[in-house]
Amino acid sequence: MSEKKLSDKVAVISGASKGLGKSMAEALAREGVKIALVSRNQDLLNEVAEGIRAEGGAAETVACDATDQEQVAAAADAVVKTFGKVDILINNAGMNNRKQLTDFTLPEWREILDTNLTSAFLMSQAFVPHMKGRGYGRILNMTSIMSHVAIAGRTGYCTTKFGLLGFTKALSMELLEDGITVNGISPGPFATEMNLPLINDPEKNADFLKRIPMGRWGKPEEIGNLAVYLCSPEAGFITGTDIVIDGGWTVQ
């Protein structure tokens, strides 16, 4: 893919301080996209931005809690002031909570709903107005294989990810006339910080790998490459769908 096809684009990525958010930021930056990195952790954001700049890319940081409406609105203002526009929005902020339903407290339930689902609503509501009017735009929502299948002990996570998939489909219909596509990326097991409790437990890790037909964890850069394609002009006829990237997990 020619760098020129994305070199004039600006992307906003929530949850960009680590994991898949960081990988997508780095991949898009390599294609010439100017990156607005959004997260609550300023120190980690600075590290990601410095890494992108060291490779010749452009990145700015915006410390923001994506579940806080006022902070998100301020972030939108800051991004537009810095870059003048927004072309790409990636709603990647997320968390997991591995416990049985009866063990959830109400604050924990609300936290996972806000982090995984409400944040996408708030970010989209704040940034979509800045994306309209140019006939081009890309929104990616980080769904999950847990938008399609379930595992015991993931009630909160599955609920939010099924909801995010519905949000993706509905929003895609709202933005058709604006030339803005809206799609989900459903990662399976990827070697990120969120999955360290499994990766660092030899027994659980071995058991988990047996469930993956390809027999390995996904590499974060594989998500980055997919995000680049979905944000490109070549993906302009893809909207309202969800791309599963899971090593064959959901085929079984």
* % helix, strand, coil for the chain, step of 5: 50, 15, 30
Task: Let me know: does 198 contact 151? Beta carbons within 8 Å.
Answer: no
Q: Is 136 one of the catalytic residues?
A: no
83, 121, 157, 167: the catalytic one is 157
How far separated are the first and last CA of the chain, in Å rounded?
A: 33
Distant-in-sequence, close-in-space partners of 138: CB < 8 Å, separation ≥ 6: 87, 88, 89, 180, 181, 183, 230, 231, 235
Q: CA-to-CA distance for 186 and 190, rounded, in angstroms?
A: 11
SS3 assignment, position 141 = strand
Residues marked active site are found at: 157
